[in-house]
Amino acid sequence: GDRIGPSSLLYGAHRLPIEQEELNSFLWTVKRNPPAYLFGTIHVPYTRVWDFIPQNSKKAFQESNNVYFELDLTDPYTISALASCQMLPQGENLQDVLPKDLYRRLKRHLEYVKLMMPHWMTPDQRGKGLYADYLFNAIAGNWERKRPVWVMLM
């Protein structure tokens, strides 16, 4: 099967200069055919780290057919775009697009979650002024208008 391991700091047939060899490349290779790569910093925009990234990582980006980035959830435009793309077209509800049985099961489950939410809250959450209704709405609010993939991610 596929295996994940740190990517080698070899660039072509030549080793990188010693200064770059000692850097963390932030690049992990999923050993499969064709190879896949995971590149990770900790929620830092690439523009703040790109100058410090070793050549092997940059080469993986340049030679990739597809590159996917994490969304900047501090950007108001991104938040607005996410909010609008998660909703079904105007006039459509989840009940219109899901099989009846699945919709009923989902509705029952979310009613159960809403009922149980106060019991699941920690004293720390209550101490911070959080309410069960607020938490439920933050997680599942307006769920009947959301696209199925967004409901799945709740």
| CA distances to 29, 37, 79, 126, 147 from 84, in Å | 35, 31, 9, 31, 11
Cα-flanking dihedrals φ and ψ of residue 144, to 5°?
-70, -15
Output the pLDDT for position 22: 52
Q: What is the pLDDT along the chain (154 residues), one digit of tens a residue?
A: 555 444 443 334 344 444 545 556 678 888 888 888 887 766 777 777 788 888 888 888 888 888 887 788 788 998 898 888 999 999 999 999 999 999 999 999 999 999 999 999 999 988 888 899 988 998 899 999 999 999 988 8
What HEC string does the chain produce? CCEEEECCCEECCEECCHHHHCCCCCEEEEECCCCEEEECCCCCCHHHHHHHCCHHHHHHHHHCCCCCCCCCCCCHHHHHHHHHHCECCCCCCHHHHCCHHHHHHHHHHHHHHHHHHHHHCCHHHHHCCCCHHHHHHHHHCCHHHECHHHHHCC
Output the pLDDT for position 61: 82
Output the pLDDT for position 145: 95
Q: Note the pTM of the prediction, 2 decimals.
A: 0.54
Output the pLDDT for position 101: 97
Output the pLDDT for position 70: 79
Decide: 60 and 36 in contact? Cβ < 8 Å: no
The token pair at 36 is 């896949």
